[in-house]
Amino acid sequence: MAELRPIIATLIVDKEAQAKFQRLRDRYYPAARTPAHVTLFRHLPEREPEEVAKRIREITKGIAPFPIEVTAPMSMANGVALELHAPDLIALRARIADEYSAHLRREDKKPFAPHMTVQNRVTRRRAQRTLGSVKGSFTPFTATGEGIALWLYMGGPWAPLDEILFEG
């Protein structure tokens, strides 16, 4: 029997926004980690990855790419993130969460607050310095949500499973 791997779902954003996210991530996040991303779910059911991809494709059918306001850097307990204002994303995530409600783990059941992590797992002092630096150079911008990427968690690195683009 094949080893089961958790499925992670992230938002696909337009190339320009992804490049901005990645520049910040490269500056403040440990090297050789996952690329910059907006996490939607950390652990979707792993038993049938192809079925998860198929169902999410069905849920997203008819959804067009949508705007995401990248509003401000924000403090996290031991890190920094970019806050996202994205009503369409929140609604879509809620639909997927409803579909998998019986299978979601505690972290994925929490209220969804869209963000892109710039830095985490550092001291509060270091996080505050980073927050000041990012705030000093940050200009709000609009990104576009273009789809959902599904990944298999490989005990550290992630392996791509599927990309589901919004075609509306």
- Helix 15-28 vs helix 124-137: crossing angle, to nearest 10: 140
Instruction: Tell me how far apart the alpha carbons of residues 157 and 136 are, in angstroms, rounded to a whole number.
Output: 32
pLDDT, residue 29, reads 87
pLDDT, residue 3, reads 66
In a domain, 135, yes or no: no
In a domain, 134, yes or no: no
In a domain, 160, yes or no: yes
For residue 147, what are its two tokens?
């789809």
Domain of residue 89 covers: 7-64+85-119+146-165
In a domain, 24, yes or no: yes
pLDDT, residue 2, reads 56
The 10s digit of each residue's pLDDT in 22-53 is 999 999 987 767 899 999 999 998 888 999 99
In a domain, 124, yes or no: no
Instruction: Give the domain CATH number at 56.
Output: 3.90.1140.10
In a domain, 1, yes or no: no
The 10s digit of each residue's pLDDT in 97-144 is 999 999 999 999 999 999 999 999 999 999 999 999 999 999 999 999
Instruction: Tell me how far apart the alpha carbons of residues 5 and 37 are, in angstroms, rounded to a whole number.
Output: 19
The 10s digit of each residue's pLDDT in 58-89 is 999 999 999 999 999 999 989 999 999 999 99
Tell me: pLDDT of 1 over 90: no
In a domain, 47, yes or no: yes
In a domain, 14, yes or no: yes
Q: How many domains does the chain have?
A: 1
